[in-house]
Structure 1
Amino acid sequence: MSIFTLTLIGQSNCSGAPSAKYIFGNRRHFRFYLRPFRRQSVDVCDISIADAQLNHLEAVPRDHFIMPEQTSDTEKGHKATTTPSIDDAFLVAFKTPTDPSNPKDWHLSKKWIMTIILSSTGFNRIMVSTIIAPALPTIRQELHMSNIESVMAMSVYLLATAFGPMVIGPLSEVYGRRPVLHATSIWFLIWNIVCGFAQTKGTLIAARLLAGFGASAIYALAGGVMGDIWRPEQRGRSLGLYSLIPLLGAAVGPIIGGYIAQHSTWRWMFWSTSILQAVMIVTSLPLFHETHAPTILRHMARELRHTTGNFQYATEAEVLHKHRSFSWILVRSLTRPIRLLLFHPMVQINALFSAFVYGVLYLVLSTFSDLWTTQYHESISTSGLHYISLCLGQIVGAQLGGPLMDFMYSRMNQHYNNLSLPEFRMPFMIPGAILTPLGLLIYGWAAQKHTHWIVVDIGGFVMSFGMQIIGQALQAYMIDSYPEHTSSASAASQFFRSLTAFGFPLFAPRMYEVLGYGWGNSLLGFVAIRIGLPTPIGIWFYGARLRAKALSSF
């Protein structure tokens, strides 16, 4: 039974319950959008039964499951229907309609400060993943590594980002975003410094693995913080800025690494990024505030209990979990990304599609420098300049894509009478699904024919532009779909992304050796078309039903 379809389908026998025609206004558009649901006819009164069962299983406000874009009952300042009996005078919740303590009601400048701090932290951590790419031949020679081992030294960092968010994301929903961000920043700093002092290949690979675990926090926290502070109609611009800076790190890394490798020792790649990380820690400690609403309310309740001596003050979550042990809550949180990945089709689809895109990006990043040094006979530092084309594609994609996504979301929201569905993000993804394979084809065949370098760079620009659009749409969709557990959903999605980012560069040299750049990139482009176009169209028609079924059975 789909809660989403219960809300929208059929004429209701309940007094005052809206019909689908009333909600959508235009019957023709109603049939187009909800075509997969048109044979269902269910009484809206039945929602209470399914909803009660759902809340019993998840112990979170039911608004999260019916309309993910709406604020939870806690944010509205009302007591949830499933909350055990408690005197409203002692229920700690945000005031309505606005509350300066609520991150979504913060001043715009404060929201941007949080976004910029998180983006800058992500820039450095992601830059470290690719900065050693131009220096791999030097590292291979100095530490006596094979080709596979040197690529492993680069890719193992990404392997850690597959498993790290599965732990870090849930912890941020238990302890809050701020302590998790600072703890992982210090962890990353320590092991990144160790990489610079590594004297053996084993030390370098192990230190890169541990540094990657600390860096992986950014993948889990980013979606959570963006969902904490930005409302759905504002997320396009904020995600545009957030996703731009970290992705720039992946493209800028080889540029900086190329110059360091040519004019200094490769060890300064790690030492310089460690210095930058230390600056980020010192900056974020006083400026980055807690954004997780349940954590903020829990701190408020604790302070009230301490100052008044009245232990009746409690948050909705504390009342719901009153008879649960902390170990039960912790285990429940830590297993949430796994359950999302196993039982939620939309998380699976999002993870697999973004995994392919992310894997192709890192495949290109890891082989781009070799193309220019071996095929075009350029120096390491000059070859690094070609990464600028990838950077420009991401910059333009973020600057155009963010506002455009907000505009399209607002227009569709108005057209469907403020329905605010996550599926409204999907039309924005279609241009990206077309441009990504187009860029791969241009880049591949231009490189195969040894055409002028600008043609290859244009292909890289188009490819990265399309990937930026796809990434923004997928991340916004996950935030809109799982507002209460965005970090866990992001962690589940990141799992496959990191595995492909780790694995794709490993087979890239052999693929280009056998197929060449032309047919190698054509193969990737054909797969991108086969996956990219059906995904947004399928989510548009079936996403709401799949989300509702998964949530009602979770």
Structure 2
Amino acid sequence: MAVCVISAGSFCVACASSMAIFTEKAMAEEFHVSHELTILSVSLFVLGFGVGPLIMGPFSEVYGRTIIYRISYILLVLLSLPVVFAPNLAVSLVFRFLLGTAGASFLSVAGGSVADMFPASQVGTPMAVYTICPFLGPVFGPLLGGFINQNLYWRWTYRILIIWTAFQLVAIFLFVPESYAPVLLQRKARKLRKDTGDPTYWAPLDRHDIPLTRSLLLSCYVPFKLLMFDRMALLLDIWDALLLGILYLMFQAFPIIFEDGHHFDVQTTGLTFLGIGLGMGIGLATQPFWNRLAVWEAAKHGGKAPPESLLIMGQVGGVLVPLSLYWFAFTTYPRVHWVVPILASVPFGTGVFFVFTATFTYLVTAYRPIAASAMAANSAMRSAFAAAFPLFAGAMYNRLGPVGATALLAGLTTVMAPLPFVFYRMGPRLRAGSRFAV
């Protein structure tokens, strides 16, 4: 139940990032600004995803996971109100950024909760369920937003989000217990001191000598130090960032392809994202196969598989993504039936899921001593790309056309596709020479 609620919380936050897509034109008309400025409502929200983990990580290691979730969702409810009643675009954009920062805990801390509750031999499937939610969320956001904006006033998008987050907040209070072992041990020691009157019961966290301000500084410093001095982490993070940037760019590209090219209305255009969602679902359905492969790899290496075995899934994803984008690119002509490019987006969703799952688990495993910082660096870079790509999507598609622009993206992913194959072979040597990796 806890994993389901945490995953639903991640899905809700990720949905909130992209539901704003179909509000952009109405906001531009009401606030008398250009459409390019209203795209920032998505970009700034996603940029908050990169800032949030740097703040939430240290707090979660001192105060636990649950308090972070509760405060995050309380803030998500309260900070949504200024967006609903925004008198101008500036107010809306500022609070969209703050909403992204508040919701980022479910994209950074939540994975730790799942790992807390299951042993390593059983964590694969629940972690896969959690991992897919932050990527399914942006896909379903336009679908929900399309139906809302086709039939209701644009501000109803945010009103419905408030209702959703309020229900999610109640579920967090009811069904998500604290799972972080040091905090549980601290509570146990406090209870023993109270019940027995013996002041000698203390937990390690009671003697936490590092000031919180220093922890915050380290959480901002170490991730960027990792990117500067470790080429393997940098390249894997760039690969992830490129794919998430392309995913968010699609939110601007699909309306151009399907509204302008195939004359879809808003809600039907939202439905076109189901192809990517279906692909991610197919990727999740293959998890039993990857679990068996992990057992086989461990047996082959004497009971403990090297971290590089995790990149096999990334190899499959690295091939699927460019192939699907080339297929998508050359079927975006209006004369080609609309179902063909939607079918082309299915393997893209599967490939993206495989790449993210492989790289996330590899980074956490290979950089275990600084796993939180490794994921914070990955999150910061992904968020920067995801925030930037939608801003130039319209200009790129207008200048190059849907075929040329999508083929360019396919070419970029082709360049990155060899990474999991290279690191599968060279990973042990690169880790041996790294100051951060195990």
Q: TM-score normalised by the shorter chain: which range applies?
A: over 0.9
Deviation at 1:376, TM superposition (A): 0.9
- The residue that corresponds to 1:497 in the other structure is 382
C-alpha distance in structure 2 between counterparts of 1:225 and 1:486, whole Å: 14
- The residue that corresponds to 2:395 in the other structure is 510
- The residue that corresponds to 1:378 in the other structure is 264
Task: Kindly indicate whether the alpha-carbon contact (under 8 Å) linking 1:157 and 1:211 is maintained by their aligned counterparts in 2.
Answer: yes
Decide which of 310, 330, 337 is 1:425's aligned counterpart.
Answer: 310
C-alpha distance in structure 2 between counterparts of 1:334 and 1:176, whole Å: 19
- The residue that corresponds to 1:397 in the other structure is 283
**Alignment pair present for 1:387 and 2:273:** yes
Structure 2: gaps of 5 or more residues: none
Q: 1:331 to 1:524 in 2, by over 3 A?
A: closer
C-alpha distance in structure 1 between counterparts of 2:146 and 2:211, whole Å: 52
Query: Secondary structure at the residue paired with 1:505?
Result: helix
C-alpha distance in structure 2 between counterparts of 1:445 and 1:350, whole Å: 28
Deviation at 1:358, TM superposition (A): 0.6
- Residues 169-188 of structure 1 correspond to what in structure 2 (within 5 A)? 169-188=57-76
Deviation at 1:501, TM superposition (A): 0.5
C-alpha distance in structure 2 between counterparts of 1:342 and 1:462, whole Å: 33
Decide which of 218, 234, 245 is 1:348's aligned counterpart.
Answer: 234
Deviation at 1:539, TM superposition (A): 2.3
- The residue that corresponds to 2:100 in the other structure is 212
C-alpha distance in structure 1 between counterparts of 2:237 and 2:435, whole Å: 17
- The residue that corresponds to 1:93 in the other structure is none
- Residues 101-250 of structure 1 correspond to what in structure 2 (within 5 A)? 113-250=1-138
Q: 1:457 to 1:553 in 2, by over 3 A?
A: closer
Query: Secondary structure at the residue paired with 1:376?
Result: coil
More deviation in 486-495 or 137-146?
Answer: 486-495
**Alignment pair present for 1:265 and 2:150:** no
Q: Which amino acid aligns with 1:464?
A: G
C-alpha distance in structure 1 between counterparts of 2:329 and 2:84, whole Å: 35
C-alpha distance in structure 1 between counterparts of 2:336 and 2:241, whole Å: 31
Deviation at 1:179, TM superposition (A): 0.8
Query: Secondary structure at the residue paired with 1:233?
Result: coil
Deviation at 1:359, TM superposition (A): 0.5
**Alignment pair present for 1:469 and 2:357:** no
C-alpha distance in structure 2 between counterparts of 1:485 and 1:293, whole Å: 18
**Alignment pair present for 1:415 and 2:300:** yes
Q: Which amino acid aligns with 2:87?
A: Q
C-alpha distance in structure 2 between counterparts of 1:349 and 1:521, whole Å: 22
Query: Secondary structure at the residue paired with 2:38?
Result: helix
**Alignment pair present for 1:436 and 2:321:** yes
Q: Which amino acid aligns with 1:312?
A: T
Task: Kindly indicate whether the alpha-carbon contact (under 8 Å) linking 2:46 and 2:100 is maintained by their aligned counterparts in 1.
Answer: yes
Task: Kindly indicate whether the alpha-carbon contact (under 8 Å) linking 1:430 and 1:536 is maintained by their aligned counterparts in 2.
Answer: yes
C-alpha distance in structure 2 between counterparts of 1:344 and 1:312, whole Å: 44
C-alpha distance in structure 1 between counterparts of 2:184 and 2:228, whole Å: 30
* Deviation sequence 1:292-332 (CA, Å, 0-9, x none): 2222222223333333333433345666x56x556555654
- The residue that corresponds to 2:335 in the other structure is 450
* Deviation sequence 1:249-278 (CA, Å, 0-9, x none): 211111111111111111111111111111
- The residue that corresponds to 1:369 in the other structure is 255
C-alpha distance in structure 2 between counterparts of 1:429 and 1:245, whole Å: 18
Q: 1:285 to 1:430 in 2, by over 3 A?
A: same
* Deviation sequence 1:74-98 (CA, Å, 0-9, x none): xxxxxxxxxxxxxxxxxxxxxxxxx
More helix by share: 2
C-alpha distance in structure 2 between counterparts of 1:200 and 1:549, whole Å: 53
Structure 1: gaps of 5 or more residues: 1-112
Q: Which amino acid aligns with 1:164?
A: G
Q: Which amino acid aligns with 1:361?
A: L
Normalising by structure 1, we get a TM-score of 0.74
Task: Kindly indicate whether the alpha-carbon contact (under 8 Å) linking 1:130 and 1:366 is maintained by their aligned counterparts in 2.
Answer: no
Query: Secondary structure at the residue paired with 2:123?
Result: helix
C-alpha distance in structure 2 between counterparts of 1:395 and 1:302, whole Å: 44
Q: 1:544 to 1:272 in 2, by over 3 A?
A: same
More deviation in 333-342 or 218-227?
Answer: 333-342
* Deviation sequence 1:211-250 (CA, Å, 0-9, x none): 1111111111133223323333333322321123332221
**Alignment pair present for 1:543 and 2:431:** no
Task: Kindly indicate whether the alpha-carbon contact (under 8 Å) linking 1:390 and 1:460 is maintained by their aligned counterparts in 2.
Answer: yes
* Deviation sequence 1:413-467 (CA, Å, 0-9, x none): 1110112332221111111101111111111110036311111101111111110
C-alpha distance in structure 1 between counterparts of 2:242 and 2:371, whole Å: 21
C-alpha distance in structure 2 between counterparts of 1:256 and 1:553, whole Å: 42
Deviation at 1:334, TM superposition (A): 5.6
Q: Which amino acid aligns with 1:363?
A: L
Task: Kindly indicate whether the alpha-carbon contact (under 8 Å) linking 2:52 and 2:101 is maintained by their aligned counterparts in 1.
Answer: yes
Normalising by structure 2, we get a TM-score of 0.93
Which protein is bigger by CA-based radius of gyration?
1
Task: Kindly indicate whether the alpha-carbon contact (under 8 Å) linking 2:186 and 2:204 is maintained by their aligned counterparts in 1.
Answer: no
C-alpha distance in structure 1 between counterparts of 2:426 and 2:232, whole Å: 10
C-alpha distance in structure 2 between counterparts of 1:553 and 1:254, whole Å: 39
Q: What's the Cα RMSD here? A: 2.3
